[in-house]
Structure formats: structure tokens, C-alpha cells
């Protein structure tokens, strides 16, 4: 089964309201284009240099999401290139996004990355700090918090991720209920190639798939 057939099979089986993000890390522009031509409407990139190469090949016909760890010195380029940044994990990085977006007259949609496993070696906001971070970011006029994103710990069994997805969904609903001005909780990005079915069951409406679309790659999800 090729990329086209895999994309079509995934899209056919997705419940209404769930969107597919093609995680294009280490994939060629040709591979990504094949996925787009098969129906992918959102491309997720982990690295800016790779993203530029693929973007130049495909252009603005799809929505571009940044799904890797964003360093402060890369924010300017990320704001210029992407339609959404899914991995905001601090007020500092949000403030830099706001500064760069303001200079171009852009309001940047972002997701807050949740370290749902509370793993010290990983990026993301621990669950206990999420409401505070979202509230603080809401004061930045050129950043729009539109949801949450999580990965969860590395697990061999996707079922082991269910509690982490459940907690992130509870946070999502809690923040939505707070009614914070300038915050629009509508995107819940959870689940990758091995875990997206569990994530959807727990409320994900954005799923980030690499291997499931493009086939095996040692550095892919």
C-alpha cells in the first residue's frame, strides 16, 4: 500500500470533526506532496529547515503546523512560515511569538504543549501549571491560544497512554469552562501513528501521523 492509499484509508475511517496532520519529519517534498494530493490538508513539521524545503515545493495549498520544539531564535521564521504552532511550552516563548507576530500584523494561533507524563527530561507545561500559563498568554494580543497538545510518555502499548490523554482532555474542558478572554479552546492534538485510535476515543480532534502515512522510518513516530 502506498502513501495515497494509506491517506485515503485513514481519512475514510476518521470520525467527523477529527483532522489529520501529516507529520512530515525526514520526509521528502515528493512524499509530502503525494500525501497532500491524496487528501491531507495539514502538514506538521518538526524542523524549520526541512519545513522551508517542503513549503517551497508545495506552497500554501495546505495548512502548516509546527510540531517540534521551538527555540527562541527560530521564532521569527516559524511565525512567518506556519499557520499554527502546536508546541508553546512557556510564557517566554509565547512572548517572543507575540513580538514577531506583531511586527507582521499576524495573530498566531498556538496550542499549549502539555507534559502529561510530568517527565523532567521532556518539554511541555506540567498539568498543574496549564491554567496559569494559558491565562498569562491570553494577555498577548498577537497570540491566540486555541487548544492543547500532548504526546505522553513512550509506551509499547498504546493503551498505556489512555490516562495521559484523559488528563489532557480534562484540562482542555476545564480551561474551556474558565471562559478566559482571548482564549478559544477548540483543538486537542493527541495521538500519533501507534496511539491515534486511543487518542480519538479520549477526545482528540487533531492527530499527528507519520509512519502510518509514509511508512517506516527509524526517526519517525
157, three cell numbers = 502499548
**Residue 219, pLDDT above cutoff 60:** no
Strands (E), the chain: 19-23, 42-45, 63-66, 84-88, 108-114, 143-150, 183-190, 206-209
Check: CB of residue 196 under 8 Å from CB of residue 207: yes
Please tell me the pTM assigned to this model. 0.95
Q: Which domains does the chain have, with CATH numbers?
A: 3-214 (3.20.20.10)
Task: Encode pLDDT of 198-207 as tens digits.
Answer: 999 999 999 9
113, three cell numbers = 504543549
Question: Angle at CA 150, nearest 5°, toward 44 and 27?
Answer: 25
Task: Encode pLDDT of 67-80 as tens digits.
Answer: 999 999 999 999 99
**Residue 218, pLDDT above cutoff 50:** no
Nearest-Å Rg of the Cα atoms of the chain is 16
More confident residue, 17 or 221: 17
Within 10 angstroms of residue 81's Cβ, the number of other Cβ atoms is: 14
Amino acid at each position: 500500500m502506498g502513501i495515497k492509499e494509506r491517506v485515503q484509508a485513514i481519512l475514510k475511517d476518521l470520525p467527523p470533526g477529527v483532522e489529520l496532520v501529516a507529520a512530515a519529519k525526514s520526509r521528502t517534498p515528493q512524499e509530502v506532496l503525494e500525501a497532500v494530493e491524496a487528501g491531507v490538508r495539514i502538514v506538521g513539521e518538526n524542523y524549520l529547515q526541512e519545513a522551508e524545503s517542503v513549503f517551497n515545493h508545495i506552497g500554501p495549498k495546505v495548512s502548516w503546523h509546527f510540531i517540534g520544539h521551538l527555540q527562541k531564535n527560530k521564532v521569527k521564521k516559524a511565525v512567518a512560515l506556519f499557520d499554527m504552532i502546536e508546541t508553546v511550552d512557556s510564557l517566554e516563548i509565547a512572548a517572543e511569538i507575540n513580538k514577531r507576530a506583531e511586527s507582521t500584523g499576524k495573530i498566531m494561533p498556538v496550542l499549549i504543549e502539555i507534559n502529561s507524563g510530568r517527565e523532567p527530561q521532556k518539554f511541555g507545561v506540567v498539568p498543574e501549571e496549564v491554567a496559569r500559563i494559558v491565562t498569562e498568554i491570553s494577555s498577548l494580543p498577537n497570540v491566540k491560544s486555541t487548544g492543547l497538545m500532548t504526546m505522553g510518555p513512550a509506551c509499547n502499548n498504546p493503551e498505556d497512554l489512555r490516562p495521559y490523554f484523559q488528563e489532557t482532555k480534562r484540562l482542555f474542558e476545564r480551561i474551556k469552562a474558565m471562559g478566559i478572554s482571548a482564549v478559544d479552546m477548540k483543538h486537542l492534538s493527541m495521538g500519533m501513528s501507534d496511539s491515534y485510535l486511543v487518542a480519538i476515543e479520549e477526545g482528540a480532534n487533531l492527530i499527528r501521523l507519520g509512519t502510518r502515512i509514509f511508512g517506516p522510518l527509524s526517526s519517525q513516530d
